Amino acid sequence: MNEQNIVKLNIAPSLSNAERERLLKAARLREKVAKSAASARSLELMANFEQQLASNYSFDQDEIWAKAAQAAKAAVEAADGAIAEECERLGIPARFRPSLACQWYGRGENASKERRAELRKVAQTRIAANEKQARTEIDRISSEVQIELLAHGMSPTALALLEQMPKVDQQMPALQVREVESMLNPRLPRY
């Protein structure tokens, strides 16, 4: 846990039980509102991302895109001319020869359904992870405020018992790819 994020209230000894109860209620309400805001933010971020995926870019409204489209058109026309010459040399009638054309795709690679699905999945998992992290931080700060309020007036023994709560990183060590692979295939060596 980052020491600079720890909430310390320095509760005055004169705080009454009624005041402590009101503060606890206020902390719980703020926690609830903050979590709702995190959920709303996730929806807003995903909507923004979907809007970006659906964006169209018009080559005729942007000078750089116009130059790129013009260069592509010139290259395609030159290649189509070379195809026409080769077909004529081979005796293929003009009406049967293959031809090239330049088309502008305003969505670029986002025109691909598979690409949009891939990007959407990455965005959804990243936004969900960010929301979970925000909600965890909200819980952490709220619980520290509530514990500080509840711990006010506790004996040193009670406070020491409270500090014995396990830390999540002690209970959930990081996974290594080799370790997971060996779970799937027990014959692989464990490292």
In this predicted structure, what is the pLDDT of residue 30? 92
Whether residues 65 and 37 fall in one domain: no
76 with 98: CB under 8 angstroms?
no
Instruction: Note the pLDDT of residue 14.
Output: 67
Which tokens belong to 133? 């992290």
Residues 49 and 121 in one domain: yes
Domain assignment present for residue 132? The answer is yes
Q: What are the 10-residue block averages of pLDDT along the chain, 191 residues in total?
A: 49 72 90 93 92 67 77 93 94 92 69 81 93 94 88 83 80 81 73 56
Residue-level pLDDT at 132:
94
pLDDT of residue 4: 45
* Residue found under tokens 């090239």: 100
The alpha-helical segments, DSSP class H, found in 55-167 are 63-90, 113-151, 156-162
Q: Are 33 and 8 found together in one domain?
A: yes
Provide the 3-class DSSP secondary structure of residue 139.
Answer: helix
pLDDT at 45: 94
> Do 88 and 14 reside in the same domain of the chain?
no
Q: Are 111 and 56 in contact (CB under 8 A)?
A: no
